């Protein structure tokens, strides 16, 4: 009987120990995938061929991340430039010398719910993890 | 009773293993993150052509503007302030040191090989460019790992306009 009571008391702790590391790993991997996507979009977008991060590129990026288990509708993309011009217009690329800044955000959702078993609250489910980067555009208009 | 103590001890040990694994994963991620920030900083600096020299036909970099730009991009990507100390929302917790900063001008003969013995770094440039090395310290989440410091080296050549 004593053992049964102990088991019930400890079962929450055991569940947490078994599954919490997996969720932490998922959080790290999601963050890494977001960062990889930011790096890829900046590498392509700031190159001399494009000079912009258009809506079409963002749509393709959403699809890529959806393949990795993200919900494409929850992804938030923020594109800005150091000079304040719009970087999402493929007809008017950002010229050389201007930095393109990209931030991708994604909500934590229920990744940290399991921590409640041991009394830790973790980040707010509506809070966002984010990955960001800034790269100087190489685009030079044809003369 | 001793079973309970054994259980708790082994549980603590297992959690320690998980924590150190988590920290190592984060460390590798941070290394790549910092390296890319450095790459973007030198890439941006290598685009700071001196227009006056270019009009004379010599591809020269504006050293002052290049350094300013490199620091600005490093600050924006790693979330640092003007002193290269981390801002409140930065993942880093200690100041980033600049170990080397070199601008290779168009007046050198190319291919130009830059060597830095203390850092164990050598790079050959075919065009004028910028070389930068920084030291980044990983903010350990748990104290299970020893302190981790990286000397990151980056080089970029002039992007032809």
Domains of chain B: which residue ranges? 2-157
Confidence class for position A37, pLDDT limits 50, 70, 90: very high
Determine the number of helices (DSSP H) and then strands (DSSP E) in chain A: 2, 3
Average pLDDT, chain B: 84
* Among B106, B101, B114, residue whose Cα is nearest residue B152: B101
Q: How many angstroms separate the CA atoms of B84 and A104, rounded?
A: 24
pLDDT for B160 equals 67
Q: Using one digit for the tens of pLDDT, what is the confidence trace for B131-142?
A: 999 998 888 877
Angstrom distance (rounded) from CA B122 to CA B142: 35
Average pLDDT score over residue span A80-102: 83
Q: Per DSSP, what are the bridge partners of residue B154?
A: B132
**What is the band of B31 on the pLDDT scale with cuts at 50, 70, 90?**
very high
Is residue A97 one of the residues assigned to a domain? yes
Residue with tokens 């009009």: B55
Q: Is A143 a member of any domain? A: no
Greatest pairwise CA separation for chain B in angstroms: 86
Q: Is A101 on the interface with B (CB under 8 A)?
A: yes
- Phi and psi of B114, rounded to 5°? -95, 130
More reliable by pLDDT, B73 or B51: B73
| pLDDT more than 70, % of chain A | 99
* A24 vs B22, B36, B76: nearest CB: B22
B79 φ/ψ sector (left φ>0, alpha ψ -120 to 50, else beta): left
Cβ contact (<8 Å) for B7 and A28? no
- This complex has an ipTM of 0.81
Write out chain A residues lying below 8 Å of B11, CB-based: 13, 17
Which chain A residues have a beta carbon less than 8 Å from that of B14? 17
For residue A123, is it within any domain? yes
Q: What is the pLDDT of residues B60-70, one digit of tens each?
A: 788 888 888 88
Radius of gyration of chain A (CA): 21
What's residue A143's pLDDT? 57
Residue A96 is nearest to which of B15, B37, B47, comparing CB atoms?
Answer: B47
What does the pLDDT read at residue A108? Answer: 87
B130 interfaces chain A, CB cutoff of 8 Å: no
Mean pLDDT, to the nearest integer, of B17-36? Answer: 89
Please state the pTM of the whole predicted model. Answer: 0.85
What is the number of structural domains in chain A?
Answer: 1
- Residue A136: which of B7, B14, B73 has the nearest Cβ? B73
Q: What is the pLDDT of residue A128?
A: 85
Residue B113 has φ and ψ, to the nearest 5°, of -105, 120
Q: What single string gives the DSSP state of each residue in A99-130? A: EEEEEEEEE-TTTTGGGGGGT---S-TT-EEE
pLDDT tops 60 at residue B161: no
Q: Note whether A21 contacts B18, CB cutoff 8 Å.
A: yes
* Interface touch A28/B29, C-beta < 8 Å: yes
The predicted-structure confidence for A105-136, as pLDDT tens digits, reads as follows: 998 888 888 877 777 777 777 788 888 889 88
In a domain, A142, yes or no: no
Domain of A131? 2-136
| pLDDT of res. B87 | 82
Residue position matching structure tokens 């993150």 = B33
Task: State how far residue A135 is from chain B, nearest Cα, in angstroms.
Answer: 6
Query: Which of A 9-48 lie inside 8 A of B, CB atoms?
Result: 10, 13, 17, 21, 24-25, 28, 31-32, 35, 39, 42, 48
Choose the closest CB to A28 out of B11, B25, B47.
B25
Residue A141 lies in a domain: no
Which residues in chain B are closer than 8 Å to A24, comparing Cβ atoms?
A: 18, 22
In a domain, A44, yes or no: yes
Residue for token pair 């291919």: B111
pLDDT, tens digit (0-9, with 9 covering 90-100), for B73-107? 988 888 888 887 888 777 888 888 888 888 888 77
């Amino acid at each position: 009987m004593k053992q049964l009571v102990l088991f019930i008391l400890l079962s929450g702790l055991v569940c947490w120990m078994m599954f919490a590391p997996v969720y932490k790993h998922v959080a790290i991997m999601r963050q890494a995938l977001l960062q990889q996507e930011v790096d890829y979009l900046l590498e392509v977008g700031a190159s001399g061929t494009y000079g912009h991060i258009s809506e079409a590129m963002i749509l393709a990026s959403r699809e890529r991340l959806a393949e990795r288990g993200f919900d494409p509708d929850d992804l938030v993309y923020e594109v800005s430039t150091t000079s304040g011009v719009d970087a999402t217009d493929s007809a008017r690329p950002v010229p050389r010398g201007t930095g393109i800044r990209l931030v991708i955000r994604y909500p934590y959702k229920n990744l940290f719910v399991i921590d409640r078993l041991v009394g830790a609250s973790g980040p707010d489910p509506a809070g966002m993890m984010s990955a960001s980067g800034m790269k100087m555009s190489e685009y030079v208009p044809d003369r | 009773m001793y079973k309970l103590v054994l259980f708790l001890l082994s549980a603590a040990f297992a959690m320690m293993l998980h924590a150190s694994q988590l920290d190592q994963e984060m460390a590798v991620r941070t290394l790549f993150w910092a390296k890319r920030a450095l790459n973007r900083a030198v890439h941006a600096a290598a685009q700071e052509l001196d227009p006056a020299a270019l009009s004379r036909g010599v591809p020269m970099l504006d050293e002052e503007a290049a350094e300013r730009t490199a620091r600005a991009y490093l600050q924006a990507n790693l979330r640092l302030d003007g002193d290269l100390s981390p801002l409140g929302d930065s993942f880093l917790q200690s100041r980033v040191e600049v170990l080397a900063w070199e601008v290779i001008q168009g007046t050198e003969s190319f291919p130009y090989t830059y060597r830095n013995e203390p850092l164990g770094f050598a790079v050959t440039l075919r065009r004028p460019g910028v070389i930068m090395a920084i030291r980044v310290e990983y903010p350990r989440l748990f104290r299970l790992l020893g302190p981790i410091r990286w000397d990151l080296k980056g080089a970029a050549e002039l992007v032809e306009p």
